[in-house]
Structure 1
């Protein structure tokens, strides 16, 4: 392979750390820095941290690179601060999605400071490194994105809003899929993962996405499944409810699920049956068959029993007897 082909080869990398347990990161922060520079250093500069942060560095994190995009999930047990004057020119678009705690971001010449609280996101262009700090026990996801594809859409704006908006649900679902699968993706898969991250970030900036773009179907399906999982016991859960929450038509949602070989309704039923099966094997406090049927929104015990037997080959009662307490 010649030098140009090697330079153009899609690059990816994964780094997981846990300095909250003894031996989680050999040689502490220095060991983490070496791992970072080996996998990400040629495209993503490690933030300059304060001496106090490095000295009491208690962090769990997962870092994934897909070409010129990086996705980071981090939980800071200890307080995290940048150096007073981090400095350094950059040209990136960054997204901050805070799940717990708060992340404070500096601005140019001490102006434009922003605090991203739990449940919110911020998307903005970064021209240089600025100071930041996170309160203890802050959990967040960060995306570092190339400015070339996003600045024409974002411009000089900062876009902020709730982390559970329809566009953010899709972006978060896709970022989580990238975390889980990037190590096994070939060049075509890396290209698709990268392109979809960019397109979904554009959707966040525009507050709308192209719901007929087939490349977004996996992200839409994953977001719908995540949303369904959080409402499995809700009698209002339906394809219409999921489509409404994700700001797409029912037809678009069904078309996305068709690529998985399972309908939206079938997925909901299968997940409810799976949760009922797990409840039948609980070591204590097992519910009755009628209670399980009602809790997981089956019309009655007969419907539940028939669906369970079709799925698992045994009636719920027989399945419970076959599982030791």
Structure 2
């Protein structure tokens, strides 16, 4: 995903890119592009809307999907699409800092805290209040999803298995968007659509080929957060992501990796970094136990296979000459 550097990263090039892409996505998105980095409140940001509007954003595209990292110093007002516009879009905000408040007539108010999402169709007037908030925003064409949404404001936790799959795909698209050919960008956009459907239906589609890389990325993100957990395994990851172990193995194979291989590689990387810390450096036995290797011998063999040195040799070299960086 964008690196979250916020207002300091609103360059002219980013603003031009946003302006070109957001022309498809209604008055709110055009005004976002126009207001990047502006230190004073904008005027009414939609027809009939009023309020304080100060945000910065970074965005990328995959076909007709837009992913933006949005930092809202102050966004207070009512958004409604222009009356003559015929095209609707789906907008999902995954809140990452503070809260984002939404309200629509007859639907009440939703306060979405960090770690949760809000999904809606554009069109009906929606009041928004986001102060010192940050969110990842995904914009998609509405036609494949509108029958699942209607005029509802749909909120939920970003911790569900379906949302973790979606966030994994967002990370993957962000990492590769600049290198994708048109066919690849379309495939990435289609995968995002399928994953949003999974969120709306509360079930992921682990058999969809386009979703393999997203599933692998979601599993990697989850594994990275639990590397020291003795229960970390392919079966645990599959259970957390609501897919079969076979589906998870297929997803890793599709990106030229294996679940067990990834976990071992990341544990060894973390152990290597700890060996570079001279004061209070853990013993080899302590490292082996912490990173879930069977014993010191098993850890030393795996470390040497990976880095060409035993942990003791590596620590000695690091102490004498800095990080030898055999990786």
TM-score relative to the length of structure 2: 0.82
Residue of structure 2 equivalent to 1:64 = 60
Residue of structure 2 equivalent to 1:118 = 114
When residues 212 and 16 of structure 1 are mapped into structure 2, their CA distance, relative to the original with a 3 A threshold, is closer
Task: Tell me, in whole angstroms, the C-alpha distance in 2 between the residues paired with 1:127 and 1:143.
Answer: 16
- Kept in 2: contact 1:62–1:73 (CA 8 A): yes
1:36-60 CA deviation, whole Å, 9 max, x = no partner?
2234324454445799544998756
Task: Tell me, in whole angstroms, the C-alpha distance in 2 between the residues paired with 1:281 and 1:129.
Answer: 56
Q: Structure 2 stretches of 5 or more lacking a match? A: 44-51, 323-327
| Mapping of residues 166-177 of structure 1, within 5 Å | 166-177=161-172
Q: Structure 1 stretches of 5 or more lacking a match? A: 1-13
- Alignment match of 1:198 (pick from 193, 202, 208): 193
| Mapping of residues 47-126 of structure 1, within 5 Å | 47=29, 48=31, 53-54=41-42, 61-76=57-72, 78=73, 80-83=74-77, 88-89=82-83, 91-108=88-105, 112-126=108-122
Residue of structure 1 equivalent to 2:156 = 161
When residues 214 and 35 of structure 1 are mapped into structure 2, their CA distance, relative to the original with a 3 A threshold, is closer
Task: Tell me, in whole angstroms, the C-alpha distance in 2 between the residues paired with 1:152 and 1:85.
Answer: 22
Query: How far is 1:300 from its partner?
Result: 1.1
Task: Tell me, in whole angstroms, the C-alpha distance in 2 between the residues paired with 1:88 and 1:245.
Answer: 42
- Alignment match of 2:282 (pick from 283, 287, 292): 287
Task: Tell me, in whole angstroms, the C-alpha distance in 2 between the residues paired with 1:307 and 1:248.
Answer: 29
| Mapping of residues 123-162 of structure 1, within 5 Å | 123-128=119-124, 130-136=126-132, 138-162=133-157
Query: How far is 1:171 from its partner?
Result: 0.5
Query: Secondary structure of 1:279's match?
Result: helix
1:214-251 CA deviation, whole Å, 9 max, x = no partner?
21110000000000000001111111110110001111
Task: Tell me, in whole angstroms, the C-alpha distance in 1 between the residues paired with 2:157 and 2:2.
Answer: 28
TM-score relative to the length of structure 1: 0.83
When residues 59 and 282 of structure 1 are mapped into structure 2, their CA distance, relative to the original with a 3 A threshold, is farther
Query: How far is 1:196 from its partner?
Result: 0.2
Residue of structure 2 equivalent to 1:298 = 293
Root mean square deviation of aligned Cα: 2.9
- Kept in 2: contact 1:88–1:129 (CA 8 A): no
The number of aligned residues is: 303
Alignment of 1:236 with 2:218, yes or no, is: no
When residues 283 and 202 of structure 1 are mapped into structure 2, their CA distance, relative to the original with a 3 A threshold, is same
Task: Tell me, in whole angstroms, the C-alpha distance in 2 between the residues paired with 1:289 and 1:58.
Answer: 52
1:99-156 CA deviation, whole Å, 9 max, x = no partner?
2210012324x853322112211222221453312122x2211111111010123334
| Mapping of residues 311-322 of structure 1, within 5 Å | 311-322=306-317
When residues 294 and 127 of structure 1 are mapped into structure 2, their CA distance, relative to the original with a 3 A threshold, is same
